[in-house]
Amino acid sequence: MILLISNFCCLTTYGQMKDIVQTDGMTSPLHKENIGKVVFIAGNILSQNRPIESFIETDFVKTFELKRASDLNIRVFMDNSITNYLHRLAPELTAEELIVKGNYQFSFLIDGKLIYQENLHHGAGLKKNTTTAFWIPFTSTKGEDFWGIYLWNRFMAKGGEKALTVGTHQLKVEIRPYLKMNENSEVKVGDLIAQGQLELVRKLEKISAKQMAIQPIAPNSDWEISKSDFDKKKIKELNKNIAAYTFKEITSIVVIKEGKLLLEEYFNGADRQTLHNTRSVGKSFASAMMGIAIKDGYIKNESQTLNTFYDLKKFSNYDIKKDSIKVKDLLSMSSAFEGSDQDDSSLGNEENMYPTENWVKFALDLPMNTVKSNGRQWDYFTAGVVLLGDIIHQSVPDGLEKYAHQKLFAPLNITKYQWQYTPQKVVNTAGGLQLTALDLAKFGQLYKNGGTWNGQQILPTAWVDKTFTKYLQVPERTNEFYGYLFWNKTYTINGKNYETFYCAGNGGSKIFVFKDLPFTIVITAKAYNRPYGHPQVDRMMEDFILPALLK
């Protein structure tokens, strides 16, 4: 239940209460003239390389056409900082306590009706003690990571899309401070900080025949072209849905049938040369490199324990149970570390790792979970894959980056790729490895071939078999399992089941390797942190791609 504080009470209290922190004050004449307002700005401010301070009143828009790809931003002008607003709701708390128990509450109204309201997580926003004006994007054509974009997408997913039908609508944004003292307490909501209105126009976007057409495969793909047939009507219908933004932020689709290139299509500005940031798809490459390192004898086997690679007593929270963690436990996401990316409060959550100076130390310093047993319970744990990368890096000659190039990328004739790096300048096995769609297909087809490529055994067949073993069920997912940094699921098409092992990354990028079908399928997407990122790929597979291929 939300407890609203009356305007009279707030104004009386506000007038008598001193601020707890010093703010930036009025940052400009424009700020002073627009106190209490949310104003709207069109265009991608970042790509314009223009400081927000340079914007003037004439840059604010009153009407905006909301397209499937657009750039809409807001700027909020306040007469105080969020910390001081929260102080008025709970004068007994310190500034540090206030900013972890409260933040901004955003309300989105369409045509006078409240559609969505969210109390922002306390981590959103910057310089809460001092900031009296801030800018955030709501939509972006560049795919930037901003909490404002995720906020807008949640609003659209939870009623905004349905309310914003073709036509003209009034969007109103209201911002208030909120405070929640503990898990069981009521939410306190203060007076309006700022509000603003915008006329939003949505037009029916026409889909051209070119957008729907199946894209011809250009020469020099490094693949033999397949002459197999498929249901072209289904693929055209899929292309129409991508163009209409029913399926959002899709950048490529590649289908390999019997080792030959059957379908190669690009969307939303991508092409054959685009390096796709497929996020955690890169974890599966760590699995491949572990298999190669074991084949070459640099690592004995995946049953080796953590204490054979590290002096664990030199790290915090030493526990004898930490000694017995196996490489296999890290590969199958089943180590007993106190680490879970699915739990925001987990000590080992990946968001706690990234700001640290040494990610390997972060992982090895973690305590052990008192309930979990190694190898028994699945829990997604990115820091564990960082450990795998470090183990390989320390074990192979010249480090992981050169080793991966020599042993994996060069044999597959993958020449264009880009790693991300840890703070220690080691390639980041947690994710972020960027490749072209056709080269991602090579990686998938390598597994489809049982580890061989052009007659060369790159991965042992036994390692592929171990990787494609269903070790543990993924909790809260029906008939879904996990192998060695590969996922497993089964699609049902026309009453028949088709099992696949696949790589997956934030945004919806996937490499599917089907068990009993002659297909390797790549889908890349940049719907990062969007709730629809993965589910829409399942719909594409179930309703269009597999039915087209199985006709």
DSSP 53-106: GG--GGGB-SEEE--SS--EEEEEE-SS-HHHHHHHH-TTS-HHHHHHHEEEEE
- Residue 350: inside a domain, yes or no? yes
Total domains in the fold of the chain: 2
- pLDDT number for residue 16: 57
- Exposed/middle/buried for residue 63 (C-beta within 10 Å: 0-12, 13-18, 19+): exposed
Show the tokens assigned to 447.
């597994």
Q: State how far the Cα of 277 lies from the Cα of 435, in Å rounded to an integer.
A: 7
The strand ranges marked E within 158-229 are 167-180, 187-189, 194-202
Same domain, 158 and 307: no
Question: Do residue 45 and residue 177 come from a single domain?
Answer: yes
Examine the fold and report which residue of 365, 395, 425 is the final residue of a domain before the chain moves on.
395
Q: Please give the C-alpha separations between residue 279 and each of 13, 347, 429, 433, 501, in angstroms, as whole numbers.
A: 48, 22, 10, 7, 17
* Residue 352 resides in a domain: yes
The residue range of the domain holding 181 is 2-202
Q: Quick one: pLDDT at residue 38?
A: 98
pLDDT value of position 3: 40
Please tell me whether residues 195 and 314 are part of one structural domain: no
Specify the pLDDT at position 1: 35
Count the neighbouring beta carbons within 10 Å of the beta carbon of residue 400. 23
Helix (H, G, I), strand (E, B) or coil at 540: helix
Q: CB of 153 within 8 A of CB of 528?
A: no
Q: Which two tokens stand for residue 371?
A: 């309930």
Q: What is the pLDDT of residue 429?
A: 98
- Of 372, 395, 418, the residue that ends a domain is 395
Question: Would 95 be classed as within a structural domain?
Answer: yes
Domain presence at residue 346: yes
| Residue 325 domain flag | yes
Domain boundary among 202, 224, 248: 202
What pLDDT is recorded for position 319?
A: 96
pLDDT at 426: 97
Q: 195 and 306 in one domain?
A: no
Other beta carbons within 10 Å of 100: 10
- Is residue 429 in some structural domain? no
The β-bridge relationship of strands 481-482 and 487-493 is antiparallel
Q: Check residue 455 and give its pLDDT.
A: 96
Are 61 and 190 in the same domain?
Answer: yes
Q: 169, exposed or middle or buried, with CB in 10 Å at 0-12, 13-18, 19+?
A: middle
What span, in angstroms and rounded, lies between the C-alpha atoms of 194 and 176?
7
Kindly state whether residue 229 falls inside one of the protein's structural domains: no
One domain, residues 127 and 14: yes
48 located within any domain: yes
Structure confidence at residue 435 (pLDDT): 98
Long-range contacts of 140-148 (CB under 8 A, 24+ apart): 140/44, 140/71, 141/44, 141/69, 141/70, 141/71, 142/44, 142/46, 142/47, 143/249, 143/526, 143/528, 144/46, 145/528, 145/529, 147/120, 148/74
pLDDT of residue 6: 34
Site of tokens 């409260």: 102
Per-residue pLDDT of the chain (551 residues; tens, 9 = 90+): 344 433 333 333 344 589 999 999 987 899 999 999 999 999 887 667 677 678 888 999 999 999 888 999 999 999 999 999 999 999 999 999 999 999 999 999 999 999 999 999 888 877 899 999 999 999 988 767 788 998 998 999 899 999 999 999 999 999 999 999 988 899 999 999 999 999 999 998 899 999 999 999 999 999 999 999 999 999 999 999 999 888 999 999 999 999 999 999 999 999 999 999 999 999 999 999 999 999 999 999 999 999 999 999 999 999 999 999 999 999 999 999 999 999 988 999 999 999 999 999 999 999 999 999 999 999 999 999 999 999 999 999 999 999 999 999 999 999 999 999 999 999 999 999 999 999 999 999 999 999 999 999 999 999 999 999 999 999 999 999 999 999 999 999 999 999 999 999 999 999 999 999 999 999 999 998 888 899 999 999 999 999 999 98
Residues 6+ away with beta carbon under 8 Å from 99: 82, 83, 86, 122, 128, 129
